[in-house]
Amino acid sequence: MPVKTVYNTAIESVSILDEHGNFDAKLGKGLIPDKDVVKLYEHMCVCRHLDEVAFKLQRSGRMGTYPENRGQEATSLGAAYVLKPQDWLVTCYRENAGLFWRGLPMESILLHWMGDERGNAIPAGLNVTPIAIPIGTQMLHATGLGWSMKYRGEDGVACTFFGDGATSEGDFHEAANFAANLDLPVIFFCQNNGWAISVPSRIQCSAPTLAQRGIAYGMDTIQVDGNDLFAVVYAMKAAVKRARTHHRPTFIEAVTYRLGDHTTADDARRYRDPAEVESWQHKDPILRLRAYLEGKKLWNGAKQEAIEAHAKETISAVVKRAEDIDAPSNVDFFDSMYVTMPADLRVQRDTMRTSSLGQNPAELQGAPQPAAAHVAR
C-alpha cells in the first residue's frame, strides 16, 4: 500500500509591537483604541508598583512567600481586556494585572499571601476563581466551567492560565482532552516564561513549541509574543470568537519571561544566566508600551511622573487596608464554606461544639454555649 500523509499543520507566531518599538500597522489597526492603550499602560504601571511593594512586604516579614508578576503583565491583562463580564478568568498565581483589571480588589491578593483566607473571597458576580497554587488544577476547573456554560446555553467563555511546566501535568491533558472532544468554550493560555522554577522549557518539552500540545488534542493553536499587549489581544479576540460562536477551545502559547525569581523563596541566580535576564529586561512589556505611546505623542515625562505618584498613593492605601483589616471571626470558616449551610454545621457554628457530630441537629437547637475550654481554636 502507498505511504500517504494523514495530517499537516502549521503554527503561526504573532508579534505586532516588538521590543524595538516596531509596530505592524496592518495587524494592529483598530485592535486597541488609543484611549484604551493609555488606560492599559497606566494599569500596568500601578500593578508593577504593587509587585515591588509586595516584594518588600515579604522581605520585611509582613507577608509570606510571594510570586512576582514583573515582566508578565501583558498576558493576563490582554486577556482580561478582551473578555466580557459573563466570561470566566481562571488563573494560577501570576495574573495580578488581569485580575485587577477585571475588578478584583488589590488587597485580596495581599491578604492571600499574608495567609488570610478572606483574600480568596471573590466578590459576587466577578467571574474569577481564587488563585490556584497546585500546578495545573485550575485547568480542570476551567473545562468544567466551559462545560457548564455550554450545557446551560449561556454565552460565556472560560480562559485559564498556566505555565510551561503545567503542560506536563496530567491535569492539563485531561482538561484539554475533555474541552476538545466535547467542543467546550475554553481558552488554554500558556505563559511560557522559559522556566518551571529551575527546569528550563527545553527539558520540559522536546517539541519546538508548547502550542503543539494543543494541536495533539485537535485545538486551534497560536503562538504570540507574550510581552506584546497587541499580540495578546489579537490572539484572544480570535479565540473568544471561536469559543463563543463554535464552542471550540484554543491553545495560546505566549512566549514571555519572569524578570524576578519564581517566588521570594527562590534564587534564580543559581540557575539562570545573567545575560539571559538582561536580554529580557529590554523586552519588558511596560517599556515597549511606553515607547509606543510616546511615539504617538500620547505620553510624556509629566504623565509618567503623575502615574507613578498615583501608583504610590493607590498601593499605599491597598497595603493599609490589607494590614488594618479586622481580625477574623471564629464563624468565618463556616459562613464562607457554603451558600446554604447544612443544618448540622449550622449547629456547630452556633454552639462551637464538635460533640454535635452524629447527633440530630433539631435536638441540638438552642443548646447551651460550651465552656471556654471547649471553644474551637
Selected catalytic residue, list 48, 258, 272, 346: 258
Selected catalytic residue, list 262, 272, 349, 353: 262
- Quickly tell me which residue has 492605601 as its cell: 317
Task: Using alpha carbons, list the distances in angstroms from residue 87 to 23, 84, 284, 293, 328.
Answer: 30, 5, 28, 29, 31
Which letter does DSSP use for residue 298 in this model?
A: S
Say which residues have a Cβ less than 8 Å from residue 296's Cβ, sequence separation at least 6.
Answer: 34
β-bridge pairing 158-163 and 186-192: parallel
Q: What is the CA radius of gyration of the chain?
A: 23
- Cα–Cα distance, 266 to 198 (Å, whole number): 9
- Cα–Cα distance, 292 to 229 (Å, whole number): 11
Cβ count near 89 (within 10 Å): 25
**Annotated catalytic residue 81:** no
First to last CA, the chain: 74
The phi-psi region of residue 26 (left if phi > 0; otherwise alpha if psi is between -120 and 50; otherwise beta) is alpha
The phi-psi region of residue 358 (left if phi > 0; otherwise alpha if psi is between -120 and 50; otherwise beta) is left
Task: Identify whether the C-beta of residue 296 lies closer than 8 Å to the C-beta of residue 32.
Answer: no
Which letter does DSSP use for residue 94 in this model?
A: S
**Annotated catalytic residue 262:** yes
Selected catalytic residue, list 59, 271, 282, 374: 271
Taking each helix axis from N to C end, the angle separating 73-82 and 34-59, rounded to the nearest 10 degrees, works out to: 130
Cβ count near 278 (within 10 Å): 9
Task: Identify whether the C-beta of residue 230 lies closer than 8 Å to the C-beta of residue 16.
Answer: yes
* 190 φ, ψ (degrees, to nearest 5): -90, 120
139, with CB counted inside 10 A (0-12, 13-18, 19+), is buried
Cβ count near 158 (within 10 Å): 29
Query: Could you give the residue numbers annotated as active site?
Result: 258, 262, 271
